Amino acid sequence: MLAISMAMSAPLVAIFLGQLFRQEFAWPNYDSASKLLFAIPIGLVIIQNRINAVKLLEYAIPTTVLVTALSGLVKLNLVWGAPRITTYFVDPLSFGSICLTLALFCLVSIDLDKSDSLWARLYKLSGFVIGLYMSFISGSRTGWMAIPIVLWLWMRFKKNIPHWIILTVVTFFCVAVYFLMPLVKMRIDTGMTELLNYQWDSINRNSSVELRISFARIGWFLFCQNPLAGWGDNGFSSLLNAPELRQFATAEAGEFVLKSGFHSEIVTNMVRSGIWGLLSSIAIFVVPLTFFIKGLRSQSLIVRNYALVAVSYFICVIVSSMSTEVFNLKFTASFHAMMMISLAGTLIVLMSSEQSPKSV
Model confidence over 117-159: pLDDT tens digits?
999 999 999 999 999 999 998 888 888 999 999 999 999 888 8
* Percent of the chain whose pLDDT exceeds 70: 94
**pLDDT above 60: residue 88:** yes
Dihedral, 82, 89, 69, 51 alpha carbons, nearest 10: 150
DSSP codes, 102-133: HHHHHHHTTTTTS---HHHHHHHHHHHHHHHH
Query: Cα–Cα distance between 282 and 291 in angstroms, integer?
Result: 14
How high is the pLDDT of residue 355? Answer: 47
Model confidence over 192-212: pLDDT tens digits?
998 998 988 888 888 888 999
How high is the pLDDT of residue 76? Answer: 66
Model confidence over 245-303: pLDDT tens digits?
888 888 888 888 888 889 999 999 999 999 999 999 999 999 999 999 999 988 888 99
How high is the pLDDT of residue 357? Answer: 47
The whole-model pTM stands at 0.90
3-class secondary-structure state, position 180: helix
Model confidence over 157-188: pLDDT tens digits?
888 888 888 899 999 999 999 998 888 998 89
How high is the pLDDT of residue 221? Answer: 94
**pLDDT above 70: residue 334:** yes
Q: Which helix (H) or strand (E) holds 358?
A: strand 358-359
Model confidence over 12-68: pLDDT tens digits?
999 999 999 999 888 888 999 999 999 999 999 999 999 999 999 999 999 999 998
